[in-house]
């Protein structure tokens, strides 16, 4: 038996070896380096409400949250999360045993997967999927089983094929990992699609972890949490966060709502990841969650106008456009521009026209399925979007 020297052995373990640097970090760095307009990483270029910023400053000054907050989150925020779920969805959760505050949705996803999976368990997830899902499933020793959302150019939307979902579930499936509104496609799963997921989860006795960080960024009928479907409250781990809803992506305040045994399991993993985080911001987010309906309506109206500005601009620039029903993102098809490789397209775009975008292929296991699709974020100031559109129209003249 040969003994491998430490220099022969890669430093990064084999569970993470495939993951490299996130596409968001890569593309944001490219934008900074080239001075291009960054429509890649999804963060707003205008901060959230002044009064909520002031609430964070007040908490800091008053010494609320400057030392370790309680492990499950400050009671004010847990109560506000429970009130929010009741106010918007009629769901009732006990702030003490059914709400857990996390370091953004990112930690909630990681903790849920690390807590609920045994090595070898299968996780069914909708492809394309948010990049941290694959990495966290891998860190937990799980196996991901993608179910590909199908693009329909005629309707400009993506669909879940319920039969494919059904076929993906095996005796090794532990959980379904769902995301609606969906990044990167901007799809909001229909009631029928959600009902089918719920029925399948009950029939096969599966847990569902559902990432609903874009719950307030929906442009048609409102968001419906999976936990509202029959039989689902007891088997659903619902995840959300303040980043998108209140335009403070740097604060990293997220939360989990679920039945007590599920929250207890997720908390067991979470306590050894960050233990706690974002002390003063937790108080500010508690206030944010209680903002009047007019705040949420204003956010949606503002984003809807930006969606249409960018979607129309991309269409006029020659892209195939999937006009999203939710999120910050527009997925485009670059084939009408005579292109087919989203990676190459995105890497060349800053030089060609001074704009950065994200190749959807990074969100796929079946990379061929995602190759010609490219994601643009519209959570940017109107003048920035107008300038980006002007630049993108230059592509047609090349």
Q: Which of 72, 254, 320, 359 binds ligand PMP (CB under 6 A)?
A: 254
Residues 6 or more apart whose Cβ sits within 8 Å of residue 378: 39, 303, 306, 307, 309, 310, 311, 328, 329, 330, 385
Dist CA 367 CA 69 (whole Å)? 42
- CB closer to ligand PMP out of 345 and 363: 363
Rounded least distance, CB 319 to ligand GLN, Å: 19
Which of ligand PMP, ligand GLN, none lies near 241, with the C-beta cut-off 5 to 8 A by kind? Answer: ligand PMP
Dist CA 319 CA 392 (whole Å)? 10
Dist CA 134 CA 132 (whole Å)? 6
Dist CA 372 CA 361 (whole Å)? 8
Rounded least distance, CB 83 to ligand GLN, Å: 26
- Is 243 one of the binding residues for ligand PMP (CB under 6 A)? yes
Q: Which of 38, 148, 183, 282 binds ligand GLN (CB under 6 A)?
A: 183
Q: What secondary structure, in 3-state letters, does 39-53 show?
A: CCCCCCCCCCCHHHH
> How many residues sit in the footprint of ligand PMP (CB under 6 A)?
14
- Is 173 one of the binding residues for ligand GLN (CB under 6 A)? no
Q: Which of 38, 41, 85, 148 binds ligand GLN (CB under 6 A)?
A: 41
3-class DSSP state for residue 356?
Answer: strand
Residue numbers 182-221 binding ligand PMP by CB under 6 A: 183, 211, 213
Of 224, 206, 204, 205, the closest CA to residue 214 belongs to 224
Q: Which of 48, 69, 73, 104 binds ligand PMP (CB under 6 A)?
A: 104
- CB closer to ligand PMP out of 229 and 363: 363
Element (H, E) at 158: strand 157-159
Residues at the site binding ligand GLN, with contacts judged by CB under 6 A: 22, 24, 41-42, 183
Residues at the site binding ligand PMP, with contacts judged by CB under 6 A: 42, 104-106, 130, 179, 183, 211, 213, 241, 243, 249, 252, 254
């Amino acid at each position: 038996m040969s003994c491998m020297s430490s220099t022969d052995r890669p430093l990064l373990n084999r569970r993470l070896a495939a993951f490299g640097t996130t596409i968001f970090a890569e593309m944001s760095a490219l934008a900074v380096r080239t001075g291009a307009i960054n429509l890649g990483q999804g963060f707003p270029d205008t901060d959230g409400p002044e009064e909520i910023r002031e609430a964070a400053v007040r908490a800091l000054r008053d010494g609320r949250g400057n030392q370790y907050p309680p492990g499950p989150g400050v009671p004010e925020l847990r109560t506000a999360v429970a009130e929010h779920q009741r106010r918007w969805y009629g769901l009732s959760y006990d702030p003490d045993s059914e709400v857990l505050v996390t370091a953004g949705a990112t930690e909630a996803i990681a903790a849920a997967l690390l807590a609920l999976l045994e090595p070898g368990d299968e996780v069914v997830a909708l492809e394309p999927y948010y990049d941290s899902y694959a990495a966290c499933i891998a860190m937990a020793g799980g196996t991901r089983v993608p179910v590909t959302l199908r693009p329909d150019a005629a309707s400009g939307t993506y669909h879940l094929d319920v039969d494919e979902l059904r076929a993906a579930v095996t005796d090794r499936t532990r959980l379904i990992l769902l995301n609606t509104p969906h990044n990167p496609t901007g799809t909001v799963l229909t009631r029928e699609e959600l009902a089918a997921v719920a029925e399948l989860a009950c029939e096969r006795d599966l847990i569902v972890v559902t990432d609903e960080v874009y719950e307030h960024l929906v442009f048609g009928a409102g968001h419906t949490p999976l936990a509202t479907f029959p039989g689902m409250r007891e088997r659903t781990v619902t995840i959300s966060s303040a980043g998108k809803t209140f335009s403070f992506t740097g604060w990293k305040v997220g939360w989990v709502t679920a039945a007590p045994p599920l929250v207890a399991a997720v908390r067991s993993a979470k306590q050894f990841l960050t233990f706690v985080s974002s002390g003063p911001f937790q108080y500010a987010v508690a206030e944010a969650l209680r903002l009047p309906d007019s705040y949420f309506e204003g956010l949606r109206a503002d984003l809807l106008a930006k969606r249409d500005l960018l979607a129309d601009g991309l269409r006029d620039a020659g892209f195939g456009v999937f006009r999203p029903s939710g999120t910050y993102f527009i997925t485009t098809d670059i084939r009408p521009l005579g292109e087919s490789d989203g990676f190459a397209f995105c890497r060349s775009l800053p030089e060609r026209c001074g704009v950065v975008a994200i190749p959807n292929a990074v969100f796929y296991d079946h990379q061929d399925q995602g190759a010609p699709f490219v994601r643009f974020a519209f959570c940017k100031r109107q003048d920035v979007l107008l300038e980006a559109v002007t630049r993108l129209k230059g592509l047609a003249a090349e």
